Amino acid sequence: MKLTEKVTIGTVELKNRMVMAPMTRSRANADGIIQDITVTYYQQRSTAGLIVTEATNISEQARGALFTPGIYSDAQVEAWRNVTNAVHQAGSRIFMQLWHTGRVGHSIDKNGILPVAPSAIAIEGQQHHTSQGAQPYETPRALETHEVKQIIADYIEAGKKAKAAGFDGVELHGAFGYLPNQFLVDGANKRTDEYGGSIENRSRFVLEILAGLTEVWGAGKVGVKLSPSIPYNGMIDSDPVALYSYLITQCNALPLAYLHLMQPLLPIEQFPHWSKDVLKSFRHLSKHSVIANGGYQMENAEKTLLAGEADAISFGSLFLANPDLPQRFELNAELNAPDRSSFYGGTEKGYIDYPVLH
């Protein structure tokens, strides 16, 4: 089975081509410090060739959701070191996903401070889960140019802290409507400075972060997750094929480990000019390894690898519910069903109590 073959992604050797996708689980404490059960959670899933952690806040400003972890304090670094040690002892590799939520937050849980974004444009038609229940999104505060540069510096500092915590690399969360994605799409970015306007300018934020992270980490240890055809969180662009074709081509100049590409997970019939198959549209443009993501099951994952359309496949809820997913695939064994009620927040239930094969 191709899925369980060894592969080298960037400069990192993996024992199989199955990646545990980043999944927010909201089990950190109020200070963004992960707990002992999180060490167990990742250790259990070290059957994956590569684990990409849940999205992790690069700064206090970056935080948009309650009980999500950070990588900006010494205590956070120390807690994550327990995870990397456990994963390495279990024979796997782990990258940290670096996160800034941008406008996907609410002042209720940010000490009354408005979320920030490229432009003062609110997310419409969705609500944010806060400590006071679901709330309509607020209009964020537009960042000044010097603040944009400070956030880039925050990403680079977070990359250094992830290195100190023992990770094998980092992944920039450039997908699903968070801050880097907000800079990319023209529906959320109406800036007139060097970070707005043309495709080149809108891509600058992501490319400068990636350049800085590769300086910290060296070649083959920095990835980026992109979602060219997902409109969630108001990520509407007039020409995403042109935008992502440019961005991915520019990434070829950087010594990245991989591109982590999300297939469209939501209906996009209203956007007939958007890519219906992200791998077919963009894979050929990249000289880097590609990890495919987005609702894959064993059969279509194997088929995608055999066709050479991706180098590895990442699985989210399947790894959440099946810590021994590679073994189950090899044996064609029945899979545990994920308990959606325990995805976000809570205790050990639905987190570290899923049964494994013996």
Catalytic residue ranges: 178
- Residue 213, number of CB atoms within 10 A of its CB: 28
Tokens 């089990």 label which residue?
A: 27
Q: What token pair was written down for 128?
A: 């944010």
Largest Cα–Cα distance in the chain?
A: 59
* CA-derived radius of gyration, the chain: 19
**Which residues pair with residue 111 across a beta bridge?**
none
CA neighbours closer than 13 Å in the CB half-sphere of residue 157 = 14
Name the phi and psi angles at 319, rounded to 5. -75, -35
Residue with tokens 């401070």: 113
Retrieve residue 238's tokens.
């007039």
Sign of CA dihedral 9, 11, 16, 22: negative
3-state secondary structure string across 105-163? CCHHHCCCCCCEECCCCCCCCCEEEECCEEEECCCCEECCHHHHHHHHHHHHHHHHHHH
Q: Position 262: which residue type?
A: M
| Closest among 88, 98, 75, 100 to 39, alpha carbons compared | 88
